[in-house]
Amino acid sequence: MVDTLLQALTELLSLKHLAYMFLGLFVGLLIGILPALGGIAGLSLLIPFIYGMDQVSALAMLIGLLAIMPTGDTFSSILLGIPGGSSSQATVLDGFPLAKKGEAARALSTAFISSMFGGVFGALVLTGFVFIARPVILAFGSAELFMLALLGLSMVAVLSGRSLVKGVGACCIGLVIGSIGAAPATGEFRMVFDIEYLYDGIPLVVVGMGVFAIPEIVDLMRQNQSIAGDMPLGKGWGRGIRDWANNWFLSLRCSAVGCIVGVIPGLGGSVVDWIAYGHAVQTSKDTSNFGKGDIRGVIAPESANNAMTGGAMLPTILFGIPGSGAMAVFLGCMVLIGIEPGPSMVTTDLHLTYTMIWSLALANIFGALACVALARPISGLTKIPFQYMAPFLIVMISFAAFQSTRSIDDLIALLLLGCVGVLMKRFGWSRPALLIGYVLAPQAETFLYQAVQFNGWSFLARPGVIIIGLLTLASIFFGLRNRVDEHGHVVPVQDNAPDVPQFRAHLPQIGFAAVVVAVMGFALFDSLQHDFLGKIFPLSVAVVGLVIVSVLLWELWVGKPGHHSHFDAELTGEHVGKAGVHGMWSGLGWLAALVVLSTLVGFVLGVAVFFLAFMRLRVGATWFRSLHMTAWAVGGIVLAAWLLSLNFPSGLLQSLVHLPWPLR
């Protein structure tokens, strides 16, 4: 084993293999820095090159790319408040407030060290674990996987914010969104309204971007200043390193969590950051700063998401079961270079497994160093007036959103979910709770159904189920005690928040809650149309949602001003009463304009018109400058589309006239 380990290292350290690893790193870094584009896009870029490459070089390149993805993602999460990828959403919660305070450099350096530690830890664990992984993975049956989904859902407790009913309500919205599409047991289509787009369910990228990125952009667009405002950028490198060193044990625990979540197939990594974040809050004594820029809120998710990449490789190479979209593409690449996953990866092909592990470790170290070097220039973005960045971000997010199904419907769904996200942010509903519900809904439903089919209800007596069940209870208990939201620590709940003491002023939030009740009512009605196995899950969710949100509605209606359920950023936010603040719908209006233009003239022409209009009407830039910026934006997306060989969604114009690529 040690021989193979060293042999794999010497093989990898040849100039050629290292060069390919750096190529992978470079592409990964580029893609990672751009918000919302992730491993799938990066691997798709590299696939044409792996043809005819030797296996070691190809693996080094692919893993170089995958390893750096969760590190590079951190830039946009911390600097722009836009999740760089589905597993770095939680980093936004504390990383972005740090950037707003001018402590971007500190947050970034801590994040990169945590990432490096997590990644190397993941590689180390893999080295030994790969031999015992088979029985461990096989120990997790459908019953245990269902319980793990519940454990994930228990994180809603800690992330639900000041009003627990709002948190649970948000989670129910997520569960309802997650159950759109085919029912796992019967294949019946639920809540699809005969819209073909909805048959497959709403893609993760669209939900993530709609709920997290759009509200942030909309908020920033209201005030025409830069993200960091007048704050100096600060150095803080030394402090960042000290911050990590002071919390090394937290980083270690979260790396372990990340590894485990990655190793267990079927769990998917998209909530690993929230699980790690929740864990950090649950186990902290002083939680008063979480959500406002606590460095531990950066360390936890960043340690976990890099460690997860290592863990996720195990089910992929040992069983051929990819845990995520990126791993699915990686699996395809492995087959293309003639490696087939299976038990031989720990016997005859062990050197390939070790090549992957070494690549992972080296790529994490070099990747973190590269990010450290880039951090200073890239943090400069937070000093650019946001109105120059907003259109680029809107276009990039739209581009990323339609990667999922390559249809204009992705943009429409993004806009609608963006509205939901903006309103949830305004009225203090927990968006992480929605996301956790959305991601875990299909898993909880599928695994419960399978567990009951395989074991009957006696599955509840399995030892693994009981252990995970106890962990879930502990997680809820500690979670409720240490609840946080984006306004910080909220326990013990006090009914003395600033508020406007007029019933009329509360009407908007009452209205939103009423709409949620209506949505739950509709989900209930829709579920009744289906067979027992197709209806039981959405029916239960809708009933819980109806009860919970009705309680909330009652609290909002009769609660005294300052009651913990009351929250409306338009009444009490910092911007209220300031001059030069745009309305909250302005940003959404611009996004809507892009969507409408795209449905009319296709995405590329839509972007061109949108950009020019934004620069001229909103920013008031000169014609020269506007055209210049538009050219960059259009050129950028056309180049990206050409590299990824994808067609843009076409609009009304394209159905009338045949245009050459990329306009068609």
| DSSP structure class, residue 502 | -
C-beta of 441: minimal distance to another protein in Å?
Answer: 13
Please count the other Cβ atoms lying within 10 Å of the Cβ belonging to residue 421. 26
593/518 Cα distance (integer angstroms): 28
C-beta of 462: minimal distance to another protein in Å?
Answer: 12
C-beta of 265: minimal distance to another protein in Å?
Answer: 7
| DSSP structure class, residue 581 | B
Return the C-alpha torsion angle 346, 117, 155, 70, nearest 10.
Answer: -80
Please count the other Cβ atoms lying within 10 Å of the Cβ belonging to residue 497. 18
Whose Cβ is closer to another protein: residue 325's or residue 545's?
325
Whose Cβ is closer to another protein: residue 115's or residue 446's?
446
C-beta of 572: minimal distance to another protein in Å?
Answer: 43
C-beta of 342: minimal distance to another protein in Å?
Answer: 4
The answer to whether residues 644 and 406 touch, using CB atoms and an 8 Å cutoff, is no
431/412 Cα distance (integer angstroms): 20
The answer to whether residues 552 and 163 touch, using CB atoms and an 8 Å cutoff, is yes
C-beta of 451: minimal distance to another protein in Å?
Answer: 9
C-beta of 199: minimal distance to another protein in Å?
Answer: 6
Whose Cβ is closer to another protein: residue 2's or residue 138's?
138
Contacts of 221 (CB under 8 A, 6+ apart): 386, 387, 390, 582, 586, 587, 590
356/333 Cα distance (integer angstroms): 13
Whose Cβ is closer to another protein: residue 24's or residue 167's?
24
Whose Cβ is closer to another protein: residue 271's or residue 546's?
271
Whose Cβ is closer to another protein: residue 234's or residue 266's?
266
537/367 Cα distance (integer angstroms): 43
C-beta of 526: minimal distance to another protein in Å?
Answer: 15
Whose Cβ is closer to another protein: residue 99's or residue 339's?
339
Taking the CA of residue 354 as centre, how many other CA atoms within 13 Å lie in the half-sphere pointing to its CB?
21
Return the C-alpha torsion angle 50, 53, 57, 58, nearest 10.
Answer: 30
C-beta of 340: minimal distance to another protein in Å?
Answer: 5
Please name which of 47, 34, 38 lies closest in space to residue 66, comparing C-alpha atoms.
Answer: 38
Contact set with another protein (CB under 8 A)? 40, 43-44, 47-48, 51-52, 137-138, 141-142, 182, 184-188, 196-197, 199-200, 265-266, 319-322, 325, 328-332, 335-344, 405-407, 446, 449-450, 453-454, 531, 533-534, 645-647, 655-660
203/403 Cα distance (integer angstroms): 10
**What is the secondary structure of 47-69 as a DSSP string?**
HHHHTT--HHHHHHHHHHHHHHH
Whose Cβ is closer to another protein: residue 90's or residue 318's?
318
Q: What distance lies between CA 453 and its chain's CA centroid?
A: 32
C-beta of 637: minimal distance to another protein in Å?
Answer: 17
| DSSP structure class, residue 477 | H
Please count the other Cβ atoms lying within 10 Å of the Cβ belonging to residue 138. 9
Whose Cβ is closer to another protein: residue 454's or residue 632's?
454
Whose Cβ is closer to another protein: residue 408's or residue 424's?
408
